[in-house]
């Protein structure tokens, strides 16, 4: 398949036409790039799973561009959902609702609920408006790889497999949206993201966090967001997190680097602006500054992909504070490390 690379983002009619005809278009969003198809066209949605190599029981998020698009897709809008929508839409927040019969089962992975997000990025908003369609869109990467935060990574994974890729800016947040279930008694975070637990608690008074987020799943245990059970965000390199007091972490990592080098391994370090000078590895990448965790979220996935470009065998990563967006960063990082964490 020939993939058109669309760089003129003022003329999205071609992309909108492709979507209306059941095709697949990758678009920038404020979280990560998304792979879009008409959410109401079963065949088009099936092709998303195919292009990504994604298991079909992992449901997709439906993207809308105004509140009027919501009601046909859902059975009801609970008061807590309305409050969250008022505060955080458009933006990096996905809400789980009871699905209406309009939503194809292939979108929900057979569940009776549907995930909906109103993104803030102007390009995907225009695409939804120009096509007049709700768009199902997972991250625009090959399933299992770190999500793409720029168009080059989408091209790397999906060129030749989809109809078009819209080239926009690098994703502002760099981690996928927060997923919140609003179908129960209290709002429950199923996936941490840019809208933090602290922000949600401030407007709702309370919020719970699906315990499956914070640890490796035990046998038979299932997270409420089906996608959270899969191996994710994993570069080809082995990732190991080293957690503890900064000076101890630096000396331990340098010991580990020497030892890996003696085994002939190519070693990478995921560091910060504050620590990057201290490591004697083959490739040291600073994800950003710990003074502002949003910088680290924004560069995390691109850093993991850059280690693979350099054929790094093993990556040692610092741990980041689990507060605010730090929860989303550590959720993705711990998954990419398969929960291999050295605690000092
Ligand atoms: O930021 C984002 O959300 C990006 C951009 C493109 O919008 N999209 C994204 O989609 O991350 P995806 O498919 O990579 O992740 C969707 C997550 C998965 O963890 C999935 O299991 C969960 O949302 N999900 C979808 N529908 C659900 C439902 N009905 N109930 C519970 N979890 C659901
Ligand atoms: Mg994804």
Question: Do 47 and 146 sit in the same domain of this protein?
Answer: yes
274 near 289, Cβ under 8 Å?
yes
Question: Do 162 and 286 sit in the same domain of this protein?
Answer: no
Report the domain count for the chain. 2
Coil, strand or helix at 176: coil
6 near 19, Cβ under 8 Å?
no
Kindly state the average pLDDT of the residues 78-103: 98
- Which residue, 180, 196, 229, sits at the end of a domain? 229
Least confident of 9-18, 133-142, 158-167, 315-324: 9-18
Q: What pLDDT score does 183 carry?
A: 97
Question: Do 225 and 243 sit in the same domain of this protein?
Answer: no
Binding-site residue ranges = 31, 54, 58, 63, 113, 117, 137, 139, 147, 177, 191, 233
Q: Find the 51 Cα to ligand 2 centroid distance in Å.
A: 13
Question: Do 170 and 207 sit in the same domain of this protein?
Answer: yes
- Residue 101, burial from CB neighbour count under 10 angstroms (0-12, 13-18, 19+): exposed
Question: Do 259 and 215 sit in the same domain of this protein?
Answer: no
Q: What pLDDT score does 204 carry?
A: 98
Question: Do 87 and 193 sit in the same domain of this protein?
Answer: yes
Strand intervals (E) in the chain: 4-6, 25-27, 34-38, 61-63, 93-98, 113-117, 135-136, 164-166, 178-181, 188-191, 208-209, 238-243, 267-271, 283-286, 314-318, 341-343
Report ipTM (2 d.p.).
Answer: 0.99
Q: Is 138 in the pocket of ligand 1 (CB under 6 A)?
A: yes
Mean pLDDT estimate for the chain: 94
Q: What is the DSSP string of 219-248?
A: TT---SSGGGGS--S--SSEEEEEES-HHH
Provide the residue range defining the domain that includes 249: 238-343
Q: Is 54 in the pocket of ligand 1 (CB under 6 A)?
A: no
From residue 174, give the alpha-carbon distance in Å to each of 23, 30, 37, 150, 194.
Answer: 26, 8, 22, 9, 9
Residue 109 phi/psi, 5-degree rounding, is 60, 30
Q: Cβ atoms within 10 A of the Cβ of 246, count?
A: 13
Question: Do 172 and 289 sit in the same domain of this protein?
Answer: no
Q: Find the 191 Cα to ligand 1 centroid distance in Å.
A: 8
Residues with Cβ within 8 Å of 23's Cβ and at least 6 positions away in sequence, in order, are: 37, 44, 162, 163, 164
State yes or no: pLDDT of 229 exceeds 70. Answer: no
Question: Do 23 and 119 sit in the same domain of this protein?
Answer: yes
Coil, strand or helix at 307: helix
Q: Which of 226, 228, 229, 332 to mutate to test the pocket of ligand 1 (most atoms within 8 A of CB)?
A: 226
Question: Do 25 and 117 sit in the same domain of this protein?
Answer: yes
pLDDT in tens, 18-31: 999 999 999 999 99
- Which residue, 177, 210, 229, sits at the end of a domain? 229
DSSP 192: -
* pLDDT over 90 percentage in the chain: 89
pLDDT in tens, 252-301: 999 999 999 999 999 999 999 999 999 999 999 999 999 999 999 999 99
Q: Which residue has the tokens 């280690």?
A: 307
Q: Is 115 in the pocket of ligand 1 (CB under 6 A)?
A: yes
User: Among all ligands shown, which has an atom nearest to the Cα of 29?
Assistant: 1
Question: Do 249 and 141 sit in the same domain of this protein?
Answer: no
Kindly state the average pLDDT of the residues 76-90: 98
Q: Which atom of ligand 1 lies closest to the CA of 114? A: 29
Sign of the dihedral through C-alpha 75, 79, 85, 86: positive
Q: What is the DSSP string of 109-146?
A: TT-SEEEEE----HHHHHHHHHHTS-EE--BSS-TTSP
The CATH number of the domain where 306 resides is what?
3.40.50.11030
The CATH number of the domain where 82 resides is what?
3.90.870.10
Residues with Cβ within 8 Å of 300's Cβ and at least 6 positions away in sequence, in order, are: 146, 174, 175, 287, 329, 332, 333
pTM over 0.90: yes
Coil, strand or helix at 31: coil
173 near 62, Cβ under 8 Å?
no
- Which residue, 171, 205, 229, sits at the end of a domain? 229
327 near 197, Cβ under 8 Å?
yes
CA 182/CA 168 separation, integer angstroms:
32
Question: Do 85 and 67 sit in the same domain of this protein?
Answer: yes
Question: Do 169 and 279 sit in the same domain of this protein?
Answer: no
User: Among all ligands shown, which has an atom nearest to the Cα of 103?
Assistant: 1
pLDDT in tens, 24-63: 999 999 999 999 999 999 999 999 999 999 887 889 999 9
Per the DSSP assignment, residues forming a β-bridge with 343 are 243
Between the two ends of the chain, the Cα-to-Cα distance in Å is 50
């Amino acid at each position: 398949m020939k993939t058109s690379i669309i760089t003129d983002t003022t003329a999205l009619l071609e992309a909108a036409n492709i979507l209306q005809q059941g095709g697949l278009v990758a678009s920038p969003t404020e979280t990560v790039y998304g792979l879009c198809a008409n959410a109401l066209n079963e065949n088009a949605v099936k092709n998303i799973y195919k292009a990504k190599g994604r298991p079909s029981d992992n449901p997709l998020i439906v993207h809308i561009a105004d509140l009027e698009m919501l009601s046909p897709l859902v059975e009801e809008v609970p008061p807590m959902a309305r409050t969250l929508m008022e505060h955080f839409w458009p933006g990096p927040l996905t809400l789980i609702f009871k699905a209406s019969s309009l939503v194809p089962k292939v979108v929900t992975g057979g569940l009776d609920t549907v995930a909906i997000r109103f993104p803030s990025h102007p390009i995907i908003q225009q695409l939804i408006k120009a096509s007049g369609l709700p768009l199902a869109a997972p991250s625009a990467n090959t399933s299992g790889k770190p999500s793409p935060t720029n168009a080059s990574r989408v091209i790397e994974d999906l060129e030749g497999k989809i109809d078009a890729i819209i080239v926009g800016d690098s994703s502002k947040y760099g981690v996928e949206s927060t997923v919140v279930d609003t179908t129960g008694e209290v709002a429950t975070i199923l996936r941490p993201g840019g809208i933090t637990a602290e922000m949600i608690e401030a407007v709702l008074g309370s919020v719970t966090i699906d315990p499956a987020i914070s640890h490796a799943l035990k046998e038979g245990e299932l997270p409420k967001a089906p996608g959270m059970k899969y191996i994710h965000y994993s570069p080809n390199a082995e990732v190991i997190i080293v957690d503890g007091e900064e000076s101890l972490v630096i000396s331990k990592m340098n010991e580990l680097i020497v030892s890996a080098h003696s085994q002939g391994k190519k070693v990478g370090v995921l560091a910060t602006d504050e620590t990057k000078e201290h490591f004697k590895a083959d490739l040291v990448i600073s994800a950003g500054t710990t003074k502002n965790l949003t910088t680290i979220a924004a560069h995390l996935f691109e850093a993991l992909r850059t280690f693979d470009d350099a054929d790094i065998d093993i990556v040692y990563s610092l741990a980041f504070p689990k507060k605010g967006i730090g929860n989303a960063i550590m959720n993705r990082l711990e998954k990419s490390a398969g929960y291999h964490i050295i605690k000092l």
